[in-house]
């Protein structure tokens, strides 16, 4: 990863949510709250908010509780000081996840099922009178293998629009998604056998909200779940999970998707990174080193194998996987197990109305894939790990355009079309276009990154203080438009949380955000978020669909050869963006990514 992008990643993460190492907070007497599990005390935080950190919502999933559905957390009798962030869940260090450490060396803890809460400064009198504010529950991204609540600070959103904002941690990687016959052989209930432990954690957190949030002035009858990237995909999963019924009342998907795995793929020994493959490799190593007498006997004695697997040190278990430069790992996730998630494909369930039909916002960023393509050596060359040079601007822009539109098609437009036909005019869609980035080290960041993946997060949270990294993205020149756009987006998100319709924002003064309209092909479909210099906030109608995009690639004269088209198809396949390996081959492509150096 180039040093410039590394700094941008660290900075963007901090911007999204507050500094990764906030100043030490002192307990504040007026934040004392009585919960069923025991009393908690928080602190005065940024933007005049009250904050509580590291509150457990489930028992630590360690020892025999590894790879089981979350169990209730133990209570406490003395006042619990909730002024310090909880440990991140087990993962590889990554600037994108905001968890420091030596590259490739596992970090974090299995004891990580905690949440953080921010509220406006509510008085005891307000609480006693039954103040009930909308609740927004944030689910962080990171490919479901990295990430932490330590990055996020919901104080500005909470105080600006009188909301209760919560950020939740959940099990990641093989701790959160893992299926194997050995685990099913010792499952106490069908949830323990599902493999969807990370998703079950999120459901447990929402159940905790229902039981506890009134003590913080929140309304358990008005809960909005929102998340970005993998967090957005998890929001989709909660919309589809029958176990989440009644736990939330609105949903926001920021750059999410509908890519779930079959249980069979999760256990297929020929599938790279499946549990069967990983366990087989581990058993092979144990046999070679003399720690295991027979691999065959280990596979036959499933209860004993399950016990052995639960005894593997967490860092050793994670080390069975190879991290990418981003710290993320590849593995099957979000299993359509028939219990936590239905067996059918997600898009079919949306068409049939077999999901929680609550008001929804779906959206993507115009240049989603530039964040990832800027790290593809065939597209961008990094000199001295600092100075990126786009090898072929035409291809870089062309590939980014189609891949980002594919994200819009599969993560926003196509789901919106299905949901709108089922639930009526309560589906809202956006595209984030802000790209007023400066030049740094002779690099035009507007071209290299543009409105890239994750760049909307600081606008939603209203926090741009990156410390020393601030100037990398956010300058005095782009400040007026940036702040105005952020205030608008915060207002829309808050109004949606209050009433299920973003409309004209909380102050009723913004451009009207219309619901997705099915009446006419050219009618308003989604809102564009940009500054006045970029065209302003406005409705648009150019819908994109997966198959139509693929057909457009075949007809687009900007491609100069079939090998260039195959290069794009390979990128779509490699990054899981709307093209399967089978489709790649059916389009006449058989070789891996073509070299596009110029």
Question: 114, 209, 119: which is closest to 157 by C-alpha?
Answer: 119
Residue 217: φ, ψ to 5°: 85, 10
Contact 156, 175 (CB under 8 A): no
Identify whether residues 115 and 167 lie together within a single domain. yes
User: One of 228, 267, 351, 368 is an active-site residue; which one?
Assistant: 368
Q: Is the pLDDT of residue 14 over 80?
A: no
- 172 domain residue, yes or no: yes
- 469 domain residue, yes or no: yes
Listing DSSP states for 228-293 in one string gives ETHHHHHHHHHHH-GGGTTS-SEEEEES-----B-HHHHH-TTSTT-HHHHHHHHHHHHHHTTS-S
pLDDT, residue 343, reads: 97
pLDDT, residue 468, reads: 58
Q: Is the pLDDT of residue 154 over 50?
A: yes
Q: In the annotation, is 368 catalytic?
A: yes
Domain with 456, as residue range(s), is 1-19+359-547
- 598 domain residue, yes or no: no
Interval 155-165: pLDDT, tens: 999 999 999 99
Identify whether residues 494 and 509 lie together within a single domain. yes
Alpha-carbon distances of 429 from 232, 355, 420, 527, rounded to whole Å: 14, 18, 11, 6
Q: Is 130 exposed, middle or buried (0-12, 13-18, 19+ CB in 10 A)?
A: exposed
- 422 domain residue, yes or no: yes
pLDDT, residue 576, reads: 87
Radius of gyration of the chain (CA): 24
pLDDT, residue 469, reads: 60
Where do the H-state alpha helices sit in 312-438?
314-318, 346-352, 370-373, 393-408, 414-423
What's the angle, vertex CA 515, arms to CA 514 and CA 517, rounded to 5?
105
Identify whether residues 55 and 170 lie together within a single domain. yes
Interval 428-479: pLDDT, tens: 999 999 999 999 888 899 999 999 999 999 999 998 875 556 678 889 999 9
Strand-pair category, 526-529 with 538-540: antiparallel
Residues 6+ apart with CB under 8 A from 406: 544, 546, 549, 572, 577, 578, 579
Question: 256, 237, 257: which is closest to 247 by C-alpha?
Answer: 237
- 452 domain residue, yes or no: yes
Q: In the annotation, is 453 catalytic?
A: yes
pLDDT, residue 298, reads: 61
- 578 domain residue, yes or no: yes
Interval 517-555: pLDDT, tens: 877 777 889 999 999 999 999 999 999 999 999 999 999
Identify whether residues 259 and 198 lie together within a single domain. yes
- 349 domain residue, yes or no: no
Q: In what order do the strands lie in the sheet with 114-119?
A: 43-44, 50-56, 114-119, 164-168, 133-139, 218-228, 250-254, 360-365, 427-432, 526-529, 538-540
**Measured on CA atoms in the order 279, 282, 288, 293, is the torsion positive or negative?**
negative
Question: 200, 250, 204, 197: which is closest to 227 by C-alpha?
Answer: 250
Identify whether residues 178 and 213 lie together within a single domain. yes
- 27 domain residue, yes or no: no
Residue 176's domain is classified under what CATH number? 3.40.50.1820
pTM, full prediction: 0.95
**C-alpha–C-alpha distance, residues 506 and 372, integer Å:** 35
pLDDT, residue 300, reads: 72
Residue 230: φ, ψ to 5°: -60, -30
pLDDT, residue 83, reads: 96
Contact 249, 356 (CB under 8 A): no
Identify whether residues 411 and 505 lie together within a single domain. yes
Strand-pair category, 380-383 with 80-81: unpaired
Q: In the annotation, is 44 catalytic?
A: no
**C-alpha–C-alpha distance, residues 133 and 216, integer Å:** 9
**C-alpha–C-alpha distance, residues 385 and 4, integer Å:** 8
Dihedral, CA of residue 203, residue 206, residue 208 and residue 212, to nearest 10: -170
Identify whether residues 421 and 406 lie together within a single domain. yes
Domain count, the chain: 3
User: One of 229, 255, 400, 567 is an active-site residue; which one?
Assistant: 229
97: confidence class by pLDDT, cuts 50, 70, 90: confident
What is the rounded average pLDDT for all residues in the chain?
Answer: 91
Question: 278, 245, 558, 506: which is closest to 399 by C-alpha?
Answer: 558
Identify whether residues 580 and 500 lie together within a single domain. no
């Amino acid at each position: 990863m180039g040093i410039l992008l590394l700094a941008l990643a660290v900075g963007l993460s901090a911007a999204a949510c507050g500094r990764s190492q906030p100043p030490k907070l002192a307990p504040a007497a007026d934040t004392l709250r009585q919960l069923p599990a025991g009393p908690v005390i928080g602190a005065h935080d940024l933007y005049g908010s009250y904050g509580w950190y590291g509150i457990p919502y489930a028992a630590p999933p360690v020892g025999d509780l590894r790879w089981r559905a979350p169990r209730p957390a133990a209570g406490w009798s003395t006042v619990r000081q909730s002024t310090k962030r909880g440990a991140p869940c087990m993962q590889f260090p990554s600037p994108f996840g905001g968890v420091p450490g030596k590259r490739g060396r596992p970090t974090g803890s299995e004891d990580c099922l905690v949440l953080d809460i921010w509220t406006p400064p509510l008085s005891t009198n307000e609480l006693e009178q039954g103040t009930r504010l909308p609740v927004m529950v944030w689910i962080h991204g990171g490919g479901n293998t990295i990430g932490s609540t330590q990055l996020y600070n919901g104080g500005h959103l909470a105080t600006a629009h009188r909301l209760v904002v919560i950020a939740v941690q959940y099990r990641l990687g093989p701790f959160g998604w893992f299926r194997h016959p050995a685990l099913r052989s010792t499952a106490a209930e069908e949830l323990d056998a599902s493999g969807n432990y990370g998703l079950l954690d999120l459901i447990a957190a929402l159940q905790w909200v229902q039981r506890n949030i009134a003590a913080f002035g929140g309304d358990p009858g008005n809960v909005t779940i929102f998340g970005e990237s993998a967090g957005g995909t998890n929001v989709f999963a909660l919309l589809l999970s029958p176990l989440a019924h009644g736990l939330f009342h609105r949903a926001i998907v920021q750059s999410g998707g509908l890519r779930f795995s079959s249980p069979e793929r999760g256990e297929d020994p020929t599938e790279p990174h499946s549990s069967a493959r990983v366990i087989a490799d581990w058993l092979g190593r144990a046999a070679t080193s003399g720690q295991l007498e027979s691999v065959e006997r280990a596979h036959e004695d499933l209860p004993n194998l399950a016990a052995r697997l639960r005894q593997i040190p967490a860092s050793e278990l994670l080390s069975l996987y190879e991290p990418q430069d981003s710290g993320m790992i590849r593995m099957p996730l979000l299993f359509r197990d028939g219990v936590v998630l239905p067996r059918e494909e997600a898009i079919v369930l949306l068409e049939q109305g077999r999901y929680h039909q609550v008001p929804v916002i779906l959206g993507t960023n115009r240049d989603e894939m530039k964040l990832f393509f800027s790290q593809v050596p065939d597209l961008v060359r990094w000199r001295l790990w600092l100075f990126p040079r786009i090898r072929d601007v035409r291809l870089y822009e062309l590939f980014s355009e189609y891949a980002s539109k594919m994200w819009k098609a599969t993560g926003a437009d196509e789901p919106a079309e299905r949901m709108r036909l089922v639930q009526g005019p309560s589906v809202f869609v956006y595209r984030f276009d802000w790209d007023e980035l400066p030049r740094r080290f002779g690099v035009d960041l507007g071209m290299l990154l543009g409105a890239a993946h994750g760049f909307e997060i600081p606008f939603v949270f209203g926090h741009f203080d990156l410390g020393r990294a601030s100037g990398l993205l956010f300058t005095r020149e782009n400040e007026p438009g940036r702040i105005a756009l952020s205030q608008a987006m915060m207002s829309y998100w808050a109004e949606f949380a209050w009433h299920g319709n973003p409309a004209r924002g909380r102050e009723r003064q913004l451009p009207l955000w219309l619901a997705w309209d099915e009446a006419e092909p050219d009618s308003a479909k989604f809102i564009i978020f940009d500054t006045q210099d970029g065209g302003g906030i406005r409705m648009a109608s150019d819908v994109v669909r997966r198959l139509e995009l693929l057909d457009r690639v075949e007809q687009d004269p900007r491609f100069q050869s079939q090998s260039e088209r195959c290069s794009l198809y390979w990128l779509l396949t490699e990054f899981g963006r709307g093209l399967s390996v089978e489709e790649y081959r059916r389009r006449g492509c058989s070789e891996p990514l073509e070299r596009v150096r110029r």
